[in-house]
């Protein structure tokens, strides 16, 4: 990966990390499924020009839209609404990395090198250090909900690798298209007073909805889709372990959560694991260039 792609991957993770605090603030004004409905309705309106039939890919887009869209976010919004520990749940989300790597091994034939495997292991030691905080154990049902959401996202990542011929914005438009009815049905079954909630949104609530719609969904998921089309899942997924670092920092700033020494140590170990992965990739890329230049 080039430096610009590495920086872009971290930028996407920064957006997603901050989004945990943003969702929690937004969910103070909207019920979870209503929040999802408003979010995906905005995305669909913005990407409507890209909502075009893709011959031979519509079933895959239907599956993708439900995996990383409606059903995944229905679980995410529900879990975030229930939890009192945003930073802890952001750590649980990182279980998508081993799940994705296992799925990529079986369905995409993407093998893990020793260096990448070692880097992922080091990174997850850092995640485990953070996970040892008692908050996660106190919210068992929320953990299960978030884990179910990560499984759906991991399946969606594999699906994204199967439809690389569909442009990014077109993919995002269909994800939003299939997500809106899911959220609409769920909010009308389980929630009430939807209209009054939307009309009573203040500027903070509106800003939170716009952040999740434009930055987290269009820029974040669009950017991750862009990266997954160009690089193996085994190279992109390890970036995700930086998300809880950004999530916890934003939780401290915006939600008043406190940083523990255990979190700081775990974050340092996690980032060290990422460094192992990408330093080795940079070395191999540089070596291949030298060999190519010598051959010419």
Q: Break the chain into its structural domains and give their ranges.
A: 3-291
Count of alpha carbons within 13 Å of 14, Cβ hemisphere only? 6
C-beta atoms surrounding 148 within 10 Å = 16
Q: What is the mean pLDDT of the chain?
A: 83
d(CA 124, CA 104): 18
d(CA 205, CA 196): 13
Specify which of 56-65, 226-235, 273-282 reaches the highest per-range mean pLDDT. Answer: 56-65
Mean pLDDT value of segment 19-45: 94
Asked whether the predicted pLDDT for residue 275 surpasses 60, the reply is yes
d(CA 153, CA 263): 25
List the structure tokens of 74: 């229905």
d(CA 93, CA 279): 25
Read off the pLDDT of residues 49-95 as tens digits, 9 standing for 90 and up.
Answer: 999 998 888 998 998 888 888 899 999 999 999 988 787 788 777 77
* Residue located via tokens 């255990």: 262
Q: What is the pTM of this model?
A: 0.80
d(CA 65, CA 173): 9
pLDDT tier at 234, thresholds 50, 70, 90: low
Where would I find the H helices in the chain? Answer: 3-26, 32-46, 58-64, 71-82, 86-92, 96-107, 114-131, 134-138, 140-160, 168-190, 194-199, 203-210, 222-230, 233-236, 243-255, 261-295
| DSSP structural state of residue 165 | T
Point out the least confidently predicted range of 3-12, 109-118, 285-294.
285-294
Asked whether the predicted pLDDT for residue 282 surpasses 70, the reply is no
Instruction: Report the share of the chain in percent with pLDDT over 70.
Output: 88
Distances (CA, A) of 265 to 130, 246, 270: 8, 14, 9
Point out the least confidently predicted range of 45-59, 72-86, 219-233, 276-290.
276-290
- How far is C-alpha 18 from the geometric centre of its chain's CA atoms? 11
Mean pLDDT value of segment 7-28: 92
* Residue located via tokens 């079986």: 106
Give the residue among 293, 281, 244, 7 at the shortest CA–CA distance from 119.
281
d(CA 26, CA 207): 8
Distant-in-sequence, close-in-space partners of 120: CB < 8 Å, separation ≥ 6: 97, 98, 101, 112, 238, 273, 277
Evaluated on CA atoms 149, 150, 151, 156, the torsion sign reads positive
């Amino acid at each position: 990966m080039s430096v610009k792609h590495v920086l872009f991957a971290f930028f996407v993770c920064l957006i997603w990390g901050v989004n945990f605090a943003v969702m929690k603030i937004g969910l103070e004004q909207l019920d979870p499924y209503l929040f999802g409905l408003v979010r995906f309705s905005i995305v669909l309106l913005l990407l409507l020009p890209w909502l075009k039939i893709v011959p031979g890919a519509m079933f895959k887009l239907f599956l993708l839209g439900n995996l990383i869209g409606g059903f995944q976010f229905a679980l995410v919004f529900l879990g975030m609404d229930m939890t009192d520990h945003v930073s802890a749940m952001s750590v649980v989300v990182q279980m998508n990395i081993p799940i994705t790597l296992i799925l990529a091994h079986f369905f995409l034939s993407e093998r893990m090198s020793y260096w990448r495997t070692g880097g992922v292991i080091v990174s997850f030691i850092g995640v485990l250090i953070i996970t040892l905080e008692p908050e996660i154990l106190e919210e068992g049902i929320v953990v299960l909900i978030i884990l179910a959401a990560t499984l759906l996202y991991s399946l969606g990542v594999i699906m994204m690798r199967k439809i690389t011929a569909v442009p990014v914005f077109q993919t995002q438009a269909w994800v939003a298209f299939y997500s809106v009815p899911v959220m609409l049905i769920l909010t009308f079954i389980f929630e009430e007073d939807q209209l009054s909630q939307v009309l009573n949104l203040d500027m903070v609530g509106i800003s939170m909805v716009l952040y999740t719609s434009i930055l987290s969904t269009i820029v974040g998921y669009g950017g991750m889709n862009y990266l997954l089309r160009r690089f193996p899942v085994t190279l992109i997924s390890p970036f995700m372990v930086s998300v809880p670092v950004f999530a916890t920092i934003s939780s401290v700033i915006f939600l008043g959560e406190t940083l523990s020494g255990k979190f700081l140590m775990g974050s340092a170990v996690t980032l060290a694991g990422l460094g192992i992965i990408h330093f080795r990739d940079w070395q191999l890329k540089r070596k291949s260039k030298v060999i190519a230049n010598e051959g010419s």
